[in-house]
Amino acid sequence: MLENKVAIITGGTRGIGLEIVRTFLQNKARVILFGSREESVHKAILLLKKEGFAVDGYFPNLNKIEEIEQVVQEIFSKYRSIDILVNNAGISASKKIEDTTSLEFESIMNLNVNAIFNMCKAVVPFMKENHGGVILNTSSMVSIYGQPSGVGYPASKFAVNGLTKSLARELASFGIRVNAVAPGIINTDMVSCLPKEVIDPLVKTIPLGRIGEPKDIANAFLFLASDLASYITGEILSVDGAARS
**Closest by CA position to 122, among listed 160, 167, 90, 82:** 82
Task: Look at residue 170 in the predicted model and tell me its pLDDT.
Answer: 98
How far apart (Å, rounded) are the C-alpha atoms in residues 98 and 102? 10
Task: Look at residue 13 in the predicted model and tell me its pLDDT.
Answer: 97
For the chain, domain boundaries: 6-239
Residues with Cβ within 8 Å of 21's Cβ and at least 6 positions away in sequence, in order, are 9, 12, 31, 33, 44, 48, 55
Give the number of other CB atoms < 10 A from CB of residue 45. 20
Catalytic residue among 58, 79, 153, 231: 153
CB distance 62 to 115 below 8 Å? yes
CA distance readout (Å), 80 to 73, 172, 181: 10, 22, 27
Give the number of other CB atoms < 10 A from CB of residue 192. 10
CB distance 85 to 120 below 8 Å? yes
Which DSSP letter does residue 211 get? Answer: -
Which DSSP letter does residue 93 get? Answer: -
Buried b (16+ CB within 10 A) or exposed e, 160-169: bbebbbebbe
State yes or no: is 153 an active-site residue.
yes
How far apart (Å, rounded) are the C-alpha atoms in residues 22 and 78? 21
CB distance 155 to 104 below 8 Å? no
Instruction: From first to last of the 245 residues of the chain, give the pLDDT tens digit.
Output: 999 999 999 999 999 999 999 999 999 999 999 999 999 999 999 999 999 999 999 999 999 999 999 999 999 999 999 999 999 999 998 899 999 999 999 999 999 999 999 999 999 999 999 999 999 999 999 998 898 889 999 999 999 999 999 999 999 999 999 999 999 999 988 677 767 887 888 889 899 999 999 999 999 999 999 999 999 999 999 999 998 65
Residues with Cβ within 8 Å of 189's Cβ and at least 6 positions away in sequence, in order, are 14, 15
Residue 240, amino acid: D
Which DSSP letter does residue 151 get? Answer: T
Q: How many helices (H) does the chain have, and how many strands (E)?
A: 10, 7
pTM (predicted TM-score): 0.96
Task: Look at residue 200 in the predicted model and tell me its pLDDT.
Answer: 87
Fold (CATH) for 6-239: Rossmann fold (3.40.50)
